[in-house]
Amino acid sequence: MQLLLAPMEGLLDFALRDTLTRVDAGAAADPAAAGPHPSGIDRCVSEFIRITDTLLPPRSFIRTMPELLTGGRTLAGVPVRGQLLGSDPTLLAENAARLAELGSHGVDLNFGCPANVVNRHGGGSALLQEPELIHRIVAAVRRAVPAHVPVSAKMRLGYADDRQAEDNALAIEAAGASEIVVHARTKVHGYRPPAYWERIADLRGVVKLPLVANGEIWTVDDALRAQAASGCTSLMLGRGMVADPGLALAIRARLAGGEKSGSEVPLSLDGYGFSAINVDPSEGFQPEGRPGSACAFSATVAAGVPPAVPWADMRPLMQSFWALVERRVERRHRAGRLKQWLNLLRRRYPEAQAAFDALRTTNDADALSAWLQQQS
């Protein structure tokens, strides 16, 4: 089984990748159940790097994926695979070659982003209407990167409907990809529950390459249901892992027949050497207040099941996250980044609900810094 950490534009960026892979199995009875890495995460995928009309300079890749400065891994040691988004096979191939040269642990192709601003320009899930173009993109990228560099793709079930799901999966396989992550919803579904995991099982009936199930995995029980319905042993965790940083550990512990607790990994920023980068959290994922969204919540979804990472261990993780936000994010956007995470954490932590309520109207970065210092 593999557990992957999802790319989520505007939410699950470098700072959260670094923080979530700092979680570890601590003094658990069976640390081996955490998997290859103590966080329980086998691999991360970066947010998409948009490819439009040029071969990007190295700094453009590093802006989205600073892990390229540290061997393509988070500081905790988890490999990261860079994701490209675009629709021109030649340009994507050229940029994939550069991404591989910079040390990414593979190249992932985005055929799943449902954002209208992306789809209007023919990217993301809009490509699911053109299986032949998807084939040409994957084949061009596969030819452009060394044979030892994996090429994977992330797709949804379709655009307006799922009638071309099998055609798209077959196109990706025939072009030479090594893996497909399937977000079990269409573009039109967006992030509205449910996820249609059983359709992934249909795809497994027509393609031979490994498939990874993704979508609406918030709890251990969700993970087990996704595995059963899709037939996939491997999963990609997104919002569920952000809301419950110990989710990967809890899944592995359930499968191993035990329980895990979490602790933080010491913070060190010395390896990256980056300066502040303008990042606007308003561009991309917006979890709060969307009617019908699984993110519009205030109560936990796993009542009576304590999170694998207790709140006492979440506090230093948030401080580590904030240190990276202060280094990386423009000052006027910093408060939004912390509140966005707290908004999801309140699904599992009553303490996060209290913190979110107290900080909801605060947009001053210094005030948030002071609050975080009080939590130590």
The candidate with the shortest Cα–Cα distance to 246, out of 26, 12, 14, 15, is: 26
Type of residue numbered 340? Q
Tell me which residue has tokens 């059963």.
Answer: 228
Per the annotation, the verdict on 113 as an active-site residue is: yes
Task: Report d(CA 183, CA 204) in Å as an integer.
Answer: 14
Strand partners, 147: none
Q: What b/e sequence results for 147-172 when a residue is b if at least 16 CB atoms lie within 10 Å of its CB, and e otherwise?
A: eebbbbbbbbbbbeebebbbbbbbbb
Task: Report d(CA 374, CA 376) in Å as an integer.
Answer: 6
Q: What angle do CA 179, 225, 83 make, to 5 degrees?
A: 30
Task: Report d(CA 109, CA 117) in Å as an integer.
Answer: 18
Type of residue numbered 19? T
Structure tokens, 349:
């932590």
Exactly one of 44, 113, 232, 295 is catalytic; name it: 113
Strand partners, 212: 181
Rg, Å, the chain Cα set: 19
Helix (H, G, I), strand (E, B) or coil at 75: coil
Cβ proximity of 51 and 124 under 8 Å: no
What are the catalytic residues? Answer: 113
